[in-house]
Chain A
Amino acid sequence: MAATSRTYRSIRGALSAACALTGIGGVATSHATEVETAILGYTEPNRVSALETVLQARHDFGSGRLANFKVVYDALTGASASGAVPGAAVQTFTRPSGRGSYTTAPGETPLDDTFRDARVAVSGGATLPLGRLSTISAGLYGSGEHDYTSLGANASFSRDFDRRNRTLSAGVSFSQDTVTPEGGRPIPFASMTPVGPDQPRLAGDGSKDVADAMLGLVQVIDRATLVQFTYSLSRVTGYQTDPYKLVSVVDPTTGAPVDQIFEHRPDARTKHILFGRVKRQLPHGALDLSYRFMTDDWGIASHTVELRDRVALGGGGKYLQPHMRYYSQSAADFYARWLLDGAALPDHATADYRLGEFHAWTFGLEHGRDLGRDHRLTARVEYYRQVGDGHPAGAPGALANYDLFPVVDAWIFQVGYSFGS
């Protein structure tokens, strides 16, 4: 309705300063611009450790128009299980580049210690109102590391109903990922060759397309309770094999490894995900309980139950938030901890523990407090423990003596600092 498009200078900063003189102070929310920074450390003792820094900014232009921007930098170092089984003798493995090798002591789980990578991810998006009750959002995403790039875009639409007590939303996203592994992509099921240029490789880079669609409902039940349901469908097509993972071929009698071959995964995967959540206000704080079910055509089904209980502690925005998460998944149909020498090769096989059957617990505690009017500090520590079957039935020979699914213990530390203006 503005008759002209004259622009007015902002008096807000000076006004805030003037209001501060009266002794009243704004709380650390509803800022036009909010910036969040965080440093996260993840460490699996003797294995992978990662350090992640996050910078996130959000600007509110008023009238429901928002923009956001995020940069994440990860540095990862350490060793990760290659998929090969332990053996009674010292085992020598060629590094993925084909230049150099590493050895694993008898009885030890083979760990590829060449893991060292840095990743930068950048994303941004905007939300606009569409009429009085609807909003549309769109965003772009890109990430890169030395052997992997991902580019994606997403869009969603949401509409409020029932005096804004119900919100329905629908969204889609697409991304294209390209993997250019160190040394090239090994031919699936090819034997690992000794150091040198002889490893048979596939031509070109590996790429995959990911398409997701999502439908969501948020319903306010009463003044204290909110429920949320989401269904997502995800379709991934293209190269999904991990070019660094091996499967051991073992002697059917002794269990001794006779060959190490590169894994091979199907080139299509369809996932269905159902998610439900209840948030409820309680006299001491708030409870957030959620459940997620995922099933895919690789034969994996997973369940995640997560509980957060925020307890307010005195003034200054102080709180303590215990966090508990339970996760369990069944193995992919083509998961094989080992393959038997002399038997026919299956169509696909992986020994990557992330596609095996396991369950995991996370226990954490988060503390947050306001640092003055516009600043907020949070600190979080979490312990993660992942357990699978270390002694699966039918392990031939010496394999029965080894822990074939070592427990993964990890600690997560995070410090976050946010401010607004």
Chain B
Amino acid sequence: MQRRGDLFAGLFSAMSGPCEILLESCDEAQALRLAELAAAEVLRIEYKFSRYRDDSAVGAINAAAGAAVRVDDETARLLELAARCHALSGGRFDVTSGILRRVWKFDGGDRLPSRGQVKALLPLIGWGKVAWENPVIALPAGMEIDLGGLGKEYAADRAAELVAAAAPAAALVNLGGDLRATGPRGDGAAWRVGVEDPGREDHAERVLEMKGGGLATSGDARRFLLRDGIRYGHILNPRTGWPVRGAPRAVTVAAPTCTEAGVLATVAMLHGREAEAFLEGQGVGWWCRW
């Protein structure tokens, strides 16, 4: 717990990155209690939806090898959201596409998978192949789901809302760049958030203002492959198994919740060079870096 002027900052590590919660309008003991509450919620969600653990909700679904699994309420709600995002995005947003990570290693190098390797995975991708009858899910054998595209943003929202329900403090939850504010700062002013601009060589940040709601960024300057002068970003088209061509390097979206912002940012990236045209119509704040 650090004191920064009139703010308290609680720092912790989760979701494979640094996390921070900023609190104001409260005393130190209250800040510590609220930061612990937020961190515990984030860790709970990370643990519950980890695809690396067989005993997690997601691990159990993936390990069922074709059998139907009845899921708990919270998991059911996230799967329902995933199903709707798939439909709303015309199949672009797909929680079954994580399996492509087996052949795509975005480490800044130049090792592309072969066409055959990618093609071999395509039969294992597609939400449409999943039998989802809330609250029962059955994945065809070999398929996997990965809620990583929703989990971090959902955790930011949940943590912020738990804090808001527990105390009148104004809070900003930042999970490695996915943010959610409980509202404006105590004086009604906006939170000022620095967002990295990968297009700038000096790594200058752009300061965005948010008075509440969520902010999420899709795209990562460090996760790409470069081969024959072509940059392959890490956003993969679930229908081809190949990176979306012509997509911005990063898209940041501001929306009422971090989860909505995250989905819109990801779907925008999946629109490739049409990302801005897609965002134009959404009535949210956005910022594309090319």
Interface residues of A (CB under 8 A from B): 1-12, 14-16, 18-19, 21-33, 60-63, 132, 163-164, 220, 222-224, 226, 279-288, 310, 312-315, 317-318
Task: Tell me whether A1 and B273 are in contact in the complex, defined as CB-CB below 8 angstroms, given that A12-B284, A15-B88, A224-B6 are known contacts.
Answer: yes
Contact partner of A285 among B187, B246, B260, B287, CB < 8 A?
Answer: B187
For B79-123 the 0/1 string (1 means CB < 8 A from A) is 011001100110000000000000000000000000000000000
The answer to whether A7 and B256 have CB atoms under 8 Å apart is no
Contact partner of A315 among B165, B187, B212, CB < 8 A?
Answer: B165
- A3 neighbours in B (Cβ, 8 Å): 246, 273-274
For B250-290 the 0/1 string (1 means CB < 8 A from A) is 00001111011001100100010111111111111111101
The answer to whether B81 and A286 have CB atoms under 8 Å apart is no
B218 within 8 A of A: no
6 smallest beta-carbon distances between A and B, as pairs: A26-B256, A286-B187, A29-B212, A32-B283, A30-B213, A18-B84
The answer to whether A10 and B168 have CB atoms under 8 Å apart is no
Interchain CA distance A314-B25 in the complex, whole Å: 11
CB closest chain-B residue, reference A20: B257
- B interface SS class: mixed
| Shortest Cβ distance from residue B205 to the other chain A in the assembled complex, whole angstroms | 8
CB closest chain-A residue, reference B253: A62
Interface residues of B in 177-199 (CB under 8 A from A): 181-189, 192
Task: Tell me whether A26 and B283 are in contact in the complex, defined as CB-CB below 8 angstroms, given that A2-B274, A226-B189, A288-B187 are known contacts.
Answer: no
The answer to whether A19 and B260 have CB atoms under 8 Å apart is yes
The answer to whether A21 and B211 have CB atoms under 8 Å apart is no
B144 within 8 A of A: no
- B165 neighbours in A (Cβ, 8 Å): 315
CB closest chain-A residue, reference B82: A18
| Shortest Cβ distance from residue A320 to the other chain B in the assembled complex, whole angstroms | 12
| Shortest Cβ distance from residue A133 to the other chain B in the assembled complex, whole angstroms | 10
Contact partner of B285 among A26, A30, A163, A224, CB < 8 A?
Answer: A30
Contact partner of B260 among A12, A224, A280, CB < 8 A?
Answer: A12
The answer to whether B188 and A310 have CB atoms under 8 Å apart is yes
Contact partner of B80 among A15, A21, A310, CB < 8 A?
Answer: A21
B67 within 8 A of A: no
| Shortest Cβ distance from residue B120 to the other chain A in the assembled complex, whole angstroms | 31
Interface centre among A4, A21, A30, A222 (most CB of B within 10 A): A30
Interchain CA distance A282-B185 in the complex, whole Å: 10
Interchain CA distance A310-B186 in the complex, whole Å: 8
The answer to whether A6 and B167 have CB atoms under 8 Å apart is no
The answer to whether B213 and A60 have CB atoms under 8 Å apart is no
Interchain CA distance A33-B282 in the complex, whole Å: 12
Contact partner of B277 among A8, A286, A313, CB < 8 A?
Answer: A8
- A279 neighbours in B (Cβ, 8 Å): 187, 189
B26 within 8 A of A: yes
Interface residues of B in 221-275 (CB under 8 A from A): 246, 248, 254-257, 259-260, 263-264, 267, 271, 273-275
Spot the interface stretch: B13-21, B55-63, B153-161: B153-161
- B7 neighbours in A (Cβ, 8 Å): 223-224
B138 within 8 A of A: no
Contact partner of A63 among B214, B277, B286, CB < 8 A?
Answer: B286
For B155-175 the 0/1 string (1 means CB < 8 A from A) is 001100100111111100000
Task: Tell me whether A281 and B80 are in contact in the complex, defined as CB-CB below 8 angstroms, given that A16-B260, A18-B88 are known contacts.
Answer: no
